Structure 1
Amino acid sequence: MGACSAWGSRVPHFDPASTRSTLFRALLDAADLHGRGAPILEDPERSPLSYGRLILGSLVIGGRLAALTRRGDTVGVLLPNVNAVALVLFGLNAFGRVPALLNFTAGLKNLRSAVATVEIQTVVTSRRFIESGRLDDVIAGLSEPPETGRPVRIVYLEDLRKELTSLDKLRGVMSSWFARWTHARHALSPDEAGVVLFTSGSEGRPKAVVLSNANLLANVRQIEAHIGAPPLVPSQIVLNPLPVFHSYGLTGGLLLGVLVGMRVVLYPSPLHYRQIPKMAKAVGATVLFGTDTFLQGWAKAAEPGDLDSVTLVVAGAERVKEQTREMWRASGAVILEGYGATECSPVIAVNQTFDNRPGTVGRFLPGMEHRLEAVEGLHEGGRLFVRGPNVMAGYVLPDRPGVLVPPAGGWHDTGDIVGVDQDGFVSIQGRARRFAKIGGEMVSLAAIETLAQALWPGATHVAVSLADARKGEQIVLVTDRAEADRAALAAYAKAQGYPELWAPKAVLVTASIPVLGSGKIDFAGAAEMVKSLRPLL
């Protein structure tokens, strides 16, 4: 099934021509539209940057980094969600360098693998961040020659600022006056790399995902067209606690706001449950990006009035629980659940304020094609493949450093099993690898988690499959519900009319469920926990 369908008359307008640019040129266009004096970006330091200051700062920092690197170089960026990460991102893009946003929560092994995969020779960071994050060992490990044998240079922003001369500052001001000319001399093309991100590495070493300038701009314009006004207008204030080393935090939480004209407030960690609601109140945030795990945490920690200004919550990365919706509904906010993948810049589908169907992730964004491939043992839905202007330029794999591998025919295999109803709404049934085949039938682990959630709301549940000599696979439910037990879940499943094979073989109660830095459940971590305790189950 392609993008054209029964609901085609309601597909929002998306102009492919709007993607034929670069991130920095799109920033200049936004500044021209909204005015260089308009405040557009701030962080907990509460020192807002206007478009003009963002452009000037980007050119100054970008110019200094350009003197240390070559056009087309991939430059590692190891920074939290603060203004500086936007200055470095746009600054590198302005001078034709490619920022590779490094996940500082991934551990030294994965970081060294990432550096080697895309042949990074320079990493930009901050002494203050390294000290506060206790990342000295990481920096020491990155400074050693990676698998390529080439040493990695660590560049600290504080040192760059100290080295700035009056002449450098004057050149920066002049460059900002002639920013389009300066950029034109160095810019990469729309179809060349805009950023490099990395997969989580849960199945091995992380793969690099190369997103072109056009990919990123396409997704921004697709989201803008799909959700539309009034939600996405310059009067909105976006609070983004999600790290920009994940595509959701980068595109949704930073690029969308800055390029559409909505003031963006960056916050360095989504784990600061008490501080984020207070930040929302302090800045008058109206739009908030999050995952279900974080949305629950923020709502529970909020004091009366903290979240009153928030009217729109965009949720992704994991299924939104009904309890989460109720918590935010009480605050007066609407949750729009969406779905995406890093390889798609990342948004593939999202609900709309005027057509919001809870339990689904909305319709596909304009300009996207999709097809479903049948899965043996599964009677509904299929494996989702997508193609469109936001689909990545390609992977760079750890065993082939520096070599771009484009998606075959432009199609990306999401690895997700989904259903699409007659109105075009997409329902996620689970990852293909998150199905267990029991007695020839495919059983969704996500569906079992939903079943457990209905019985024990307020807790977190993860279903894990294990090899079983007799039935092929068996399921263990990991939960932080203290009184959870298998008999109760089996009885509840039977009462709801579910087959007996949906009942997990065992229920494992744990103090906490492992979570990744992105806010997603760490399924690999949960599986390892179950395997280590298997003899006791």
Structure 2
Amino acid sequence: RNLLSNCAQMGAVIDFNANDVILNVLPLFHVFGLGPGTILPLISGMRLFLYPNPLHYRIVPELAYEINATVLFGTNTFLAGYGRSAHPYDFYSVRYVFAGAEKLQEDVRRLWMDKFGLRILEGYGATETSPVLAVNTPMYHRAGTVGRFLPGIEWRLEPVPGVAEGGRLHVRGPNVMLGYLLPGKPGELVTPGTRYGDGWYDTGDVVRVDEEGFVTIVGRLKRFAKVGGEMVPLNAVESLAVQVWPDHRHGAVTIADGRRGEAVILVSEHPQASLEALQAAARRQGMPELWLPRRIVHLRQLPLLGSGKVDYEALRGRVLGS
């Protein structure tokens, strides 16, 4: 029910039709690849092409050209790779490109618009919500946000100490899971529920919602560092690094600090990434000095999950090991 509900919610705001050709390169063990990428086209009468490896950055654009794909689903990491490798005409037939699972970076958004004339529609969701909660659409689009909530989704923001703007997002709707099956409780369904009652799901994400309903992700609550009593969003540190070194991947983690509570460490694939360059960029943008990382660790390649996201647990282990 939750998967089918989410497909119906997506279909209510995006004009998919039977002439669409979907190219899905996302893994089916990831709900983004399973729901919007596979179930939605199958129940809607659209043609669906599956490709098993999203890391084939040269092959995927060629395949899109050969099958006359009209809809493409991807993550920031994968779309960056396709954008760099593709011929400007490879995506000539594409109407919609959807990005999820990780924050869409401005340089990737700009690359696709300049090279292919395509506006990437960024969305947001969670595995527990099957997955889409909000998405930009051709009619309602605002760069830098993840769009507006899908129809049928109730939401509330719980205040977070130390966070001036936004709050912790709780949602309820037909696309929310029935519950968890946990190893320690075999045969028992642990249903979702929060301070707002049964059926509500706590996303753990801190978001802002503007007067027109557009949602901006401030950060995941566990992806905040508490430095000197102030909540520092680690994704803001990563976004700053991407602006300075856009062709490389970066990840921010925390370590214990006896004086300030926690310290931010930036891990970068750029061999010459420096604190000086990052500090200069932060001053230009007015970013608080407290948000800057204490040091930069250089890695040839950041550890990744199967979804293409940075594996932060492994990354933090590398930092502690160094």
TM-score in terms of structure 1 length: 0.58
Q: Which amino acid aligns with 1:514?
A: P
Name the aligned partner's letter for residue 9 of structure 2: Q
Q: Which residue of 1 aligns with 2:58?
A: 274
Q: 2: CA distance between counterparts of 1:285 and 1:332?
A: 15
Mapped to 2, the partners of 1:465 and 1:528 lie a distance apart of: 11
Please state which structure has a larger fraction of its residues in strand: 2
- Runs of 4+ aligned structure 1 residues displaced above 3 Å come to none
The structural deviation recorded for 1:306 is 2.1
- Is the counterpart of residue 337 in structure 1 residue 122 in structure 2? yes
Q: Is the 8 A contact 1:430 1:445 kept in 2?
A: yes
Counterpart among 280, 298, 315 of residue 491 in structure 1: 280
Match of 1:241 in 2: 25
**1:308–1:332 contact (8 Å) kept in structure 2:** no
Shift of 1:304: 4.4
Give the conservation status (yes or no) of the 8 Å contact 2:154–2:173.
yes
8 A Cα contact 2:265 2:294, kept in partner: yes
1:105-131 CA distance string (max 9 Å, x none):
xxxxxxxxxxxxxxxxxxxxxxxxxxx
- Partner residue of 1:224? 11
**1:299 correspondence with 2:83:** yes
Partner amino acid for 1:222? Q
Q: Which letter does structure 2 place at the counterpart of 1:380?
A: E
1:358 partnered with 2:143: yes
Question: Would you say 1:391 and 2:180 are equivalent positions?
Answer: no
Cα distance, 1:326 vs. partner? 1.9
Tell me by how many angstroms 1:303 deviates. 3.2
Deviations 1:493-531 (A, max 9, x none): 123212111111001111111211112121212111111
SS in 2 for 1:507: strand
1:82-481 pair list within 5 angstroms: 214-227=1-14, 229=15, 232-329=16-113, 330-408=115-193, 409-481=198-270
Percent identical residues: 53
SS in 2 for 1:328: helix
* Offset, 1:307: 2.1
Q: Relative to 1, partners in 2 of residues 1:491 and 1:328: Cα closer, same or farther, differing over 3 Å?
A: closer
Deviation at 1:455, TM superposition (A): 1.8
The unaligned stretches of length 5 or more in structure 2 are none
Query: Within 2, Cα distance between the matches of 1:275 and 1:530?
Result: 34
Equivalent residue letter for 1:244: L
- What is the rounded CA distance, in whole Å, between the counterparts of 2:167 and 2:215 in structure 1? 11
Q: Please state whether the residue corresponding to 1:478 is helix, strand or coil.
A: strand
Measure, in 2, the Cα distance between the counterparts of 1:261 and 1:239: 14
Q: Which amino acid counterpart does residue 236 of structure 2 have in structure 1?
A: A
2: CA distance between counterparts of 1:345 and 1:496?
Answer: 36
Max radius of gyration: which structure?
1
Q: What amino acid is the match of 1:503?
A: L
Offset of residue 440 of structure 1:
0.8
Q: Secondary structure at the match of 1:244?
A: coil
Quick one: structure 1 residues 495 and 332, their matched pair in 2 at CA, closer, same or farther if it must change by over 3 Å?
Answer: closer
1:402, distance to aligned residue in structure 2 (A) = 2.6
Partners of 2:218 and 2:105 in 1: how far apart?
14
Higher relative contact order (CA 8 A, sep 6+): 1
Q: Secondary structure at the match of 2:164?
A: coil
Q: Are 1:528 and 2:312 an aligned pair?
A: no
Contact 2:88 2:116 in 1 (8 A): no
| CA–CA distance in structure 2, aligned partners of residues 388 and 290 of structure 1 | 25
